[in-house]
Chains A and B, each alone.
Chain A
């Protein structure tokens, strides 16, 4: 996992829970804690931090990950405004994840293992995202989608039609825009 994710996580936690919360999380998770945005760190450390945050937030780790994803969006928008200003809607933003955002991420962070989403439109007009990754972080994607909708002032419903956490081969996430 790239250090930038840890750094954004730190900012989200500090914003929500106060300046000392991150140090508590580091202590509770028993991780090193010196993360620079360009470095790479074990996935397990991130998972331990999410679990630790979940305990503090009194939520499940999956819920904590969604929470992080959603709260991370404004921070990412501040740090990488170009990705956001090029789009006028969350729909357009989400569809460009494979084509623009992830390639850009790979430019900044050589060796970043970005997931690939396949997109299609459902018969009822919602957007279907297929996701398959050994990290099984569909909840982070879920949170990012909510965060993107917030950024563009839209309202969406996100449902996991199939999920790797439920033993499915891949996750299928349905995003429905509420008018």
Chain B
């Protein structure tokens, strides 16, 4: 405005020329204007450059963190990387990461991830920070936990809500900010940073840090989903116990460990006796509850045993009513048998299912590393054999595998195939025995007794094979054949039945009038 006034009052000649002094004054003012304009232009350019630079730095930082995470770094590594990079970016000397406590999310504890450009002068502050816990609203991390917002403290040494004030003061720390790592609304971590200078809040920095927090949250979310998938793939959904695959993986490890002659191991096959009865009589829902309860009891027993130093224990549900316990680094071979006894004991009290008391027992087979197994599959096979031995010996007991079981199993297998061949080749024959009335006067019927003519000179008694034809289901065909034969032989009789339906191993059929 001043310049305009001067122009208005300036005397001029007819040709519009100015007095030389006024002309110089005018030029000086023009110079001043030009100079001001240049400086303003420079300032605008500087601001633009600065913003450009800062935005570039921000993008580079976000990009670097994303690259780190995408290259398969763990959550810990990514967090550590982020803390170091933020310290570099802000030129602030220290950053510390906190996570919600496992025993209840309403507290923050150290994640044991931190970075300091110079550890020595900050040691005391770091130690105090790593040892502390923060309730919601308490201190800087607690405030972030409570609000879910990035938070700035201009000077911690005069802040009323900063429990580590004395330690911060002693190290010369002043300004601080912290931001949450968010998964949805959940604060999955809090990261705090400190400066040696007191600083007023910088909203644009806080907004940027929140952006980093969101990005780190995505990394953690991805890891969680990944963990969930892995967990689901290796655990039984009903009981939450490790599944067969996980048990086999660990057994592989145990077998390899043993080959290195370092540690012994044992595996216990735990098969519930008569589980089918529970399922059939009380329904599948009750059967599921039954399995869950058994899983819980076995787990409790193992927890106790593990606490008393019984190696590394894995309880798995193999499927159906089959459980297994792997003991890695077992201190003494007898320990597996002792554990089996404890497992039997844990089942001794009846379970309450659908208002009914149900008793559970289990047959347990044990195989141990001393046998020098080459593969996990071999160990599983032998533990299974031992378990079947326990079942055949009357159930609710434990059998330890020995090599005779293997022979026995091989014999069983051969017998089964021989019996199928015998049926095909019609080698079964019937011996008849009359049933005489009590007064001895009349034959009221006869018994048909099953025999197996294995060769012209060898007649096999039913005691040696009847159980097998029952197990293989051949009994259905053999039984029908027996009754058919009997009818042909004595069409005048009216009743044809197996002698004892309650005994699964009866080899006698009765034909009566």
Interface residues of A, Cβ cutoff 8 Å to B: 7, 19, 36-38, 86-88, 92, 96, 99-100, 103, 107-108, 110
A37 touches B197 (CB 8 A): no
B199 touches A86 (CB 8 A): yes
Whole-angstrom distance between the alpha carbons of A45 and B162 in the complex?
Answer: 54
With a CB–CB cut-off of 8 A, which chain B residues contact A36?
38, 42
Our pick among B39, B50, B91 for the contact of A100 (Cβ within 8 Å) is B91
A107 touches B53 (CB 8 A): yes
With a CB–CB cut-off of 8 A, which chain A residues contact B198?
86, 88
Once A103-B91, A107-B50, A107-B54 are accepted as A-B contacts, the answer to whether A38 and B45 lie under 8 Å apart by CB is yes
Q: Does B49 contact A (CB under 8 A)?
A: yes
B8-41 interface code vs A (CB 8 A; 1 in, 0 out): 0000000000000000000010000000001100
Whole-angstrom distance between the alpha carbons of A19 and B29 in the complex?
Answer: 12
Whole-angstrom distance between the alpha carbons of A158 and B56 in the complex?
Answer: 39
With a CB–CB cut-off of 8 A, which chain B residues contact A19?
28
Once A86-B199, A99-B91, A107-B54 are accepted as A-B contacts, the answer to whether A37 and B49 lie under 8 Å apart by CB is no
Our pick among B38, B46, B199 for the contact of A108 (Cβ within 8 Å) is B46
Interface residues on B, range: 10 to 19
Our pick among A96, A107, A108 for the contact of B197 (Cβ within 8 Å) is A96
Which residue of A has the minimal Cβ distance to B38?
A36
Give the distance to chain B from A131, nearest Cβ to Cβ, in Å: 21
Q: A7-B39, A86-B198, A96-B197 are in contact. List 12 more A-B contacts (CB 8 A).
A: A19-B28, A36-B38, A36-B42, A37-B45, A38-B46, A38-B49, A87-B197, A92-B197, A100-B91, A107-B49, A107-B50, A108-B49
Whole-angstrom distance between the alpha carbons of A88 and B172 in the complex?
Answer: 13
With a CB–CB cut-off of 8 A, which chain B residues contact A103?
91
Whole-angstrom distance between the alpha carbons of A37 and B45 in the complex?
Answer: 9
Give the distance to chain B from A38, nearest Cβ to Cβ, in Å: 6
Main secondary structure of the interface of A (DSSP, over half): loop
Which residue of A has the minimal Cβ distance to B197?
A86
Whole-angstrom distance between the alpha carbons of A87 and B199 in the complex?
Answer: 9
Give the distance to chain A from B463, nearest Cβ to Cβ, in Å: 94
B42 touches A37 (CB 8 A): yes
Whole-angstrom distance between the alpha carbons of A99 and B89 in the complex?
Answer: 11
21 residue pairs from A and B, CB less than 8 Å apart:
A19-B28, A36-B38, A36-B42, A37-B39, A37-B42, A37-B45, A37-B46, A38-B45, A38-B46, A38-B49, A87-B197, A92-B197, A100-B91, A103-B91, A107-B49, A107-B53, A107-B54, A108-B46, A108-B49, A108-B50, A108-B53
Which residue of A has the minimal Cβ distance to B32?
A19
Whole-angstrom distance between the alpha carbons of A107 and B57 in the complex?
Answer: 10
With a CB–CB cut-off of 8 A, which chain A residues contact B53?
107-108, 110
With a CB–CB cut-off of 8 A, which chain B residues contact A92?
197
With a CB–CB cut-off of 8 A, which chain A residues contact B28?
19
Give the distance to chain B from A76, nearest Cβ to Cβ, in Å: 13
B85-96 interface code vs A (CB 8 A; 1 in, 0 out): 000000100000
Which residue of A has the minimal Cβ distance to B49?
A108
Give the distance to chain A from B48, nearest Cβ to Cβ, in Å: 10
Whole-angstrom distance between the alpha carbons of A86 and B38 in the complex?
Answer: 28
B198-220 interface code vs A (CB 8 A; 1 in, 0 out): 11000000000000000000000
Whole-angstrom distance between the alpha carbons of A36 and B34 in the complex?
Answer: 13
3 shortest interchain CB distances as A-B pairs = A37-B42, A107-B53, A86-B197
Whole-angstrom distance between the alpha carbons of A108 and B38 in the complex?
Answer: 17
With a CB–CB cut-off of 8 A, which chain B residues contact A87?
197
With a CB–CB cut-off of 8 A, which chain A residues contact B46?
37-38, 108
Interface centre among A88, A92, A99 (most CB of B within 10 A): A99
A38 touches B42 (CB 8 A): yes
Give the distance to chain A from B144, nearest Cβ to Cβ, in Å: 24
Whole-angstrom distance between the alpha carbons of A37 and B46 in the complex?
Answer: 9
Whole-angstrom distance between the alpha carbons of A36 and B53 in the complex?
Answer: 19
Whole-angstrom distance between the alpha carbons of A87 and B28 in the complex?
Answer: 39
Give the distance to chain B from A8, nearest Cβ to Cβ, in Å: 11
With a CB–CB cut-off of 8 A, which chain A residues contact B42?
7, 36-38
Give the distance to chain B from A100, nearest Cβ to Cβ, in Å: 6
Whole-angstrom distance between the alpha carbons of A38 and B41 in the complex?
Answer: 11
Whole-angstrom distance between the alpha carbons of A71 and B28 in the complex?
Answer: 24
Interface centre among A38, A87, A103 (most CB of B within 10 A): A38
Whole-angstrom distance between the alpha carbons of A38 and B49 in the complex?
Answer: 10
With a CB–CB cut-off of 8 A, which chain A residues contact B45?
37-38
Give the distance to chain B from A148, nearest Cβ to Cβ, in Å: 15
Whole-angstrom distance between the alpha carbons of A36 and B39 in the complex?
Answer: 8
Whole-angstrom distance between the alpha carbons of A38 and B38 in the complex?
Answer: 11
Whole-angstrom distance between the alpha carbons of A154 and B149 in the complex?
Answer: 41
With a CB–CB cut-off of 8 A, which chain A residues contact B54?
107
Whole-angstrom distance between the alpha carbons of A107 and B49 in the complex?
Answer: 8
Give the distance to chain B from A10, nearest Cβ to Cβ, in Å: 9
Give the distance to chain A from B201, nearest Cβ to Cβ, in Å: 13
